[in-house]
A = this chain, B = another copy of it.
Amino acid sequence: MRLLNVEEAIKMIPDGAIVMIGGFLGVGSPNTLIDEIIKQKRSNLTIIANDTAFPDKGVGKIIVNKLAKKVIVSHIGTNPETQKQMIERFLEVELVPQGTLVEKIRAGGLGLGGILTPTGVGTIIAEGKQIMNIEGKDYMLELPLKADFAIIKAKRSDCNGNLVYSLTARNFNPIMATAASTVIAEVEEILPVGTISPDEVHTPGIFIDYIVKSR
């Protein structure tokens, strides 16, 4: 784990990168990092996130600034700009059920070749997907998702990068921390090693490459 300032951290991300971004409608999103993506005009991004939040919040700001070419998300309903750019064919939108999305990311991070989920079987999202019948019930094969970068948000970190999240700001963050080549965690405070009990740690520091402090 290395401490970086936000400018250095975002400079690592090239245009066109695949980036996972934690948060649920902006709650638990790495806002300092997102603002810097916008400042540095990192563009042509493929964003993997739960949703596109609101036009002025979280991932939503990246959309409004037209920096994404594709999003893989479960929901875009709270950000009219996403649907607008989709209709204009500026932005490609891949919709994935929320529980499937998080399992795909987990599979990518934890070395599974895929998972079988009952969610979506028989609906339009099953088109072209492999269906397998297990003990009389149909499941859909869903493949792993990985990213070049994950930018996530935690409440606290120690100097080893062990992370603790807060309440519903946890959501996708711990799962995304496992599934990207480079993981940048934004945290509100950085504590001395040994001040977070091993049983309290939500994400072990080995998953975290860089820490950035929230502004």
Question: Which residues from chain A sit less than 8 Å from chain B, CB to CB?
Answer: 103, 107, 111-118, 132, 134-135, 137, 139, 141, 143-144, 164-167, 170, 198-200, 202
Minimal beta-carbon separation of A151 from chain B (angstroms): 21
Q: Are A116 and B114 in contact (CB under 8 A)?
A: yes
A-B contact pairs, 16 of them (CB 8 A): A103-B112, A107-B116, A113-B116, A113-B117, A113-B118, A113-B134, A114-B116, A114-B132, A114-B134, A114-B139, A115-B115, A132-B141, A134-B143, A164-B199, A199-B200, A200-B200
* B residues less than 8 Å from A141 (CB atoms): 132
Beyond A132-B141, A165-B199, 6 additional contacts (C-beta under 8 Å) are: A112-B116, A113-B117, A114-B132, A114-B134, A134-B144, A167-B199
* B residues less than 8 Å from A200 (CB atoms): 199-200
User: Can you name the residue of chain B whose Cβ is closest to the Cβ of A168?
Assistant: B198
Minimal beta-carbon separation of A43 from chain B (angstroms): 27
Cα distance A132–B200 in the bound complex, in angstroms: 38
Count copies of this chain in the complex.
2
* B residues less than 8 Å from A107 (CB atoms): 115-116
* B residues less than 8 Å from A139 (CB atoms): 112-114
Cα distance A118–B137 in the bound complex, in angstroms: 24
User: Can you name the residue of chain B whose Cβ is closest to the Cβ of A139?
Assistant: B113
Q: Are B118 and A167 in contact (CB under 8 A)?
A: no
Q: Are A166 and B113 in contact (CB under 8 A)?
A: no
Cα distance A144–B170 in the bound complex, in angstroms: 27
Q: Are A199 and B166 in contact (CB under 8 A)?
A: yes
- Give the top 8 A-B pairs by smallest Cβ distance, nearest first: A113-B139, A113-B116, A113-B134, A114-B116, A112-B115, A115-B115, A112-B116, A114-B134
